[in-house]
């Protein structure tokens, strides 16, 4: 007799700006479904070193009214806000864990030696408003709006999110429902659970812009599997940076930014992440004086440990409450990189996996909206600061820069307005639904054969063709015009992205120099392009007739006349001599 399948939770999570809670409640009231409102207080258990968190396990005891429930959840699978994971839930007594009540499958997830070291590490307090409604194709869905706070010691972080749990039916019904709301509200797909955020908050980790992570492909994959994995990687990076693009500091609470006490003050000791006592409970009086135990006595502060899904350079995974864009221009940069990588992936697979025009149109609109903001960031934060030390009057220079920064702020606000109008959250949800439905399979028999072909063979053909085209242009490098050198840089960038997508298919050592040279050539040629862009931007502002502006223009014009960086020809020559590794 086979063991029964483990209980699965299929859920789509969305971040909601706190200022739009009333609008969402208004949308739900039109459905004429009874809302159930509860005050939920949840205690999360782990070891001091967060061993469960490292294994992707969340263990909690939650009070809802007079009931206590204990729950164990596993890491599962997640993408685009959709998660599928094992969930074991049983009654509990007064805020304490009772392992005997968990089924054997749940008990097997946590070793006995770990159980002995478990304690309360953080807590959540929020109000949940829930509805059960019908979805596409007869699906039954529970919609829950959670508004409250996550606490770890003296650190806190707002909670403002919507969860759509599939009770019956197909998972794509969740995306269909969410897209309707995302066309009217600034909803963003959100992959990171409250448990993961609690661990990071307890560690005092400060979220930031998210860089791309290596794509994991293997030689057994088909072309369509490689296509889906490449798209998911690019969409995940864009999704992770999106809240930092959309929301200014005043709007960031609960969706894009950190709570007022989300990190300790500079120079202060990191506190032990012990939550507050349960006595007294929620200020609205729902909780009683005997609600449960006070969390255990002080324990040492946990040392930061790597979490599953974290980027190795310290950046966080998808949608982990980033600092608003006001403080970090990298959100624009990394979001733009994500979209460029996505466009490169779609180009790589354009003959086998065709993306619908509405998704391509949304991609173009969003990418265009980021372009001007990134150009002004590079001008004010990279190009002009390098010129500043050579100007003879710092006061005049700073006055001129202040006017440029004011213009840059307006460009950034225009970007936010453009993005909001493009509804990038809805676009992400639509793209994820299309991937979930394997939409590329609506193709001719010949195209289906291409999709089912080995990814390794296709990767070799793609890399070979891209390399051949680059080498042909590069042999004439000294005679290339500035536009032709820029075209070479774009081709090099596309080849580098393709090589990165296929990294897992080939042995590592031969790829290191190839990817390194491609990156160096791209950067070297990019500096010349930055000068062209900077001069165009300065020529386009009406107010600028200052002496500092004239000096900067002259400097940039001289750099353009000087041609590419000195190292560019040598780098290109070395690239031509590389032996292909594929």
Q: Are 213 and 54 in contact (CB under 8 A)?
A: no
- On the CB side of 396, CA atoms within 13 Å amount to 14
Question: Domain range spanning residue 381?
Answer: 330-576
pLDDT score recorded for residue 46: 96
Answer yes or no: is pLDDT of 282 > 50. Answer: no
Per-residue confidence band for 542, with pLDDT thresholds at 50, 70 and 90: low
pLDDT score recorded for residue 225: 97
Whether 513 maps to a domain, the answer reads yes
Answer yes or no: is pLDDT of 474 > 60. Answer: yes
Q: Are 325 and 332 in contact (CB under 8 A)?
A: yes
Answer yes or no: is pLDDT of 324 > 90. Answer: no
- 78-122: pLDDT as tens digits: 888 898 999 999 999 888 999 999 999 999 999 999 999 999 999
pLDDT score recorded for residue 321: 36
Contacts of 451 (CB under 8 A, 6+ apart): 222, 223, 224, 227, 352, 353, 440, 441, 443
Contacts of 220 (CB under 8 A, 6+ apart): none
pLDDT score recorded for residue 322: 35
167: closest CA among 132, 136, 137?
Answer: 132
Over range 457-469, report the average pLDDT. 96
Select, from the ranges 33-37, 280-284, 442-446, the one with the highest average predicted confidence (pLDDT). 442-446
Q: How far apart are CA 374 and CA 402, in angstroms?
A: 18
- 264-279: pLDDT as tens digits: 433 333 333 333 333 3
Q: How far apart are CA 408 and CA 199, in angstroms?
A: 36
Percent of the chain topping pLDDT 70:
85
Answer yes or no: is pLDDT of 407 > 60. Answer: yes
Whether 170 maps to a domain, the answer reads no
Instruction: Centre a 10 Å sphere on the Cβ of residue 179 and count the other Cβ atoms it contains.
Output: 19
User: Encoding tokens for residue 311?
Assistant: 């980027």
Answer yes or no: is pLDDT of 394 > 80. Answer: yes
User: Encoding tokens for residue 230?
Assistant: 């490449």
Whether 25 maps to a domain, the answer reads no
Whether 353 maps to a domain, the answer reads yes
Give the CA distances from residue 201 to residues 95, 121, 190, 390, 443, in Å, rounded to whole numbers and listed in that order.
Answer: 22, 10, 17, 44, 47
Q: Are 355 and 346 in contact (CB under 8 A)?
A: yes
Answer yes or no: is pLDDT of 335 > 70. Answer: yes
Q: Are 527 and 482 in contact (CB under 8 A)?
A: no
581: closest CA among 523, 515, 528, 522?
Answer: 515
pLDDT score recorded for residue 312: 33
Q: Which of 325-329, 423-427, 549-553 has the lowest mean pLDDT?
A: 325-329
Across all residues in the chain, what is the average pLDDT?
85
Q: Which of 47-51, 260-264, 446-450, 520-524 has the lowest mean pLDDT?
A: 260-264
Whether 33 maps to a domain, the answer reads no
Whether 341 maps to a domain, the answer reads yes
Task: Report how many domains make up the chain.
Answer: 1
What is the value of pTM for the model shown?
0.84
pLDDT score recorded for residue 408: 94
Whether 159 maps to a domain, the answer reads no
Q: How far apart are CA 150 and CA 124, in angstroms?
A: 4
pLDDT score recorded for residue 279: 35
Select, from the ranges 76-85, 285-294, 469-478, the one with the highest average predicted confidence (pLDDT). 469-478
Strand partners, 130: 36, 144
Whether 387 maps to a domain, the answer reads yes
Pairing of strands 8-15, 82-91: antiparallel
Give the CA distances from residue 134 to residues 32, 143, 350, 453, in Å, rounded to whole numbers and listed in that order.
Answer: 12, 10, 37, 39
Per-residue confidence band for 230, with pLDDT thresholds at 50, 70 and 90: very high
Q: How far apart are CA 209 and CA 338, in angstroms?
A: 12
Q: How far apart are CA 19 and CA 262, in angstroms?
A: 19
Q: How far apart are CA 343 and CA 364, in angstroms?
A: 9
DSSP string spanning 271-318? Answer: PP-PPPPSTT--TTS-S-TTSSPPPPSP-PPPPP---TT--TTS---T
Q: How far apart are CA 314 and CA 296, in angstroms?
A: 30
Residues 42, 145, 259, 339: what is their CA dihedral angle, to the nearest 10 degrees? 120
pLDDT score recorded for residue 543: 61
Q: Which of 36-45, 56-65, 323-332 has the lowest mean pLDDT?
A: 323-332
Answer yes or no: is pLDDT of 65 > 70. Answer: yes
Q: What region, left, alpha or beta, does residue 444 occupy, with left being phi > 0 and alpha being psi -120 to 50 degrees?
A: beta
291: closest CA among 66, 81, 140?
Answer: 66
Which of 262 and 159 is assigned the larger pLDDT?
A: 159
The sign of the CA dihedral 445, 447, 448, 452 is: positive
Q: How far apart are CA 41 and CA 432, in angstroms?
A: 32
Domain CATH for 435:
1.40.20.10
143: closest CA among 44, 241, 30, 252?
Answer: 30
Per-residue confidence band for 306, with pLDDT thresholds at 50, 70 and 90: very low
pLDDT score recorded for residue 80: 87
Per-residue confidence band for 3, with pLDDT thresholds at 50, 70 and 90: low
């Amino acid at each position: 007799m086979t063991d029964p399948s483990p209980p699965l939770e299929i859920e789509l999570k969305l971040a909601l700006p706190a200022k739009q809670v009333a609008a969402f409640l208004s949308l739900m009231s039109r459905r004429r479904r009874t809302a159930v409102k509860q005050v939920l207080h949840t205690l999360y258990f782990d070891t001091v070193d967060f061993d469960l968190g490292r294994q992707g396990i969340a263990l909690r005891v939650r009070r809802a009214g007079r009931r206590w429930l204990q729950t164990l959840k596993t890491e599962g699978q997640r993408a685009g806000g959709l998660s599928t994971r094992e969930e074991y839930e049983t009654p509990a007594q007064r805020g304490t864990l009772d392992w005997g009540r968990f089924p054997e499958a749940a008990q097997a997830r946590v070793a006995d030696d770990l159980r002995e070291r478990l304690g309360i590490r953080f807590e959540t307090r929020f109000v949940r408003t829930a509805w059960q409604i019908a979805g596409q194709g007869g699906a039954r869905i529970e919609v829950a709006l959670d508004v409250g706070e996550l606490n770890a010691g003296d650190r806190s972080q707002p909670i403002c999110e919507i969860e759509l749990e599939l009770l019956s039916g197909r998972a794509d019904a969740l995306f269909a429902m969410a897209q309707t709301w995302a066309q009217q509200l600034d909803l963003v797909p959100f992959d990171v659970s409250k448990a993961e955020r609690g661990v990071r908050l307890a560690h005092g980790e400060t979220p930031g812009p998210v860089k791309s992570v290596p794509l994991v492909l293997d030689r057994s994959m088909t072309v369509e599997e490689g296509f889906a994995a490449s798209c998911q990687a690019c969409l995940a990076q864009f999704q992770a940076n999106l809240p930092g693009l959309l929301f200014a500091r005043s709007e960031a609470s609960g969706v894009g930014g950190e709570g007022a006490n989300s990190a300790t003050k500079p120079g202060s000791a990191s506190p032990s992440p012990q939550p507050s006592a349960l006595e007294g409970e929620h200020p609205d009086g729902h909780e009683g004086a005997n609600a449960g135990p006070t969390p255990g006595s002080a324990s040492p502060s946990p040392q930061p440990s790597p979490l599953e899904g974290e980027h190795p350079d310290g950046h966080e995974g998808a949608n982990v409450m980033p600092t608003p864009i006001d403080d970090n221009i990298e959100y624009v940069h990394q979001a733009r990189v994500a979209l460029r990588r996505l466009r490169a992936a779609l180009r790589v697979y354009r003959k086998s996996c065709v993306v619908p025009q509405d998704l391509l149109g949304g991609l173009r609109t969003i990418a265009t909206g980021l372009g001007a903001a990134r150009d002004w960031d590079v001008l004010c934060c990279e190009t002009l600061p390098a010129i500043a030390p050579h100007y003879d009057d710092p006061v005049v220079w700073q006055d001129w820069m202040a006017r440029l920064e004011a213009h840059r702020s307006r460009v950034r606000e225009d970007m936010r307005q453009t993005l909001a109008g493009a509804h990038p959250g809805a676009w992400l949800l639509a793209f994820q639904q299309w991937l979930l439905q394997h939409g590329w399979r609506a193709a001719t028999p010949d195209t289906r054969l291409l999709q089912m072909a080995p990814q390794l063979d296709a990767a070799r053909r793609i890399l070979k063709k891209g390399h051949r085209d680059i080498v042909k242009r590069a042999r004439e490098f000294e005679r290339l015009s500035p536009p032709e050198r820029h075209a070479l840089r774009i081709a090099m960038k596309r080849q580098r992205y393709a090589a990165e997508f296929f990294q897992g298919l080939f042995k590592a050592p031969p790829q290191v120099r190839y990817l390194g040279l491609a990156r160096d050539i791209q950067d070297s040629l990019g500096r010349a392009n930055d000068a062209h862009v900077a001069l165009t931007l300065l020529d386009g502002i009406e107010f600028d007739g200052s002496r500092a502006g004239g000096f900067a223009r002259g400097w940039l014009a001289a750099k353009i006349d000087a041609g590419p960086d000195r190292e560019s020809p040598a780098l290109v020559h070395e690239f031509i001599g590389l032996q292909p590794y594929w």
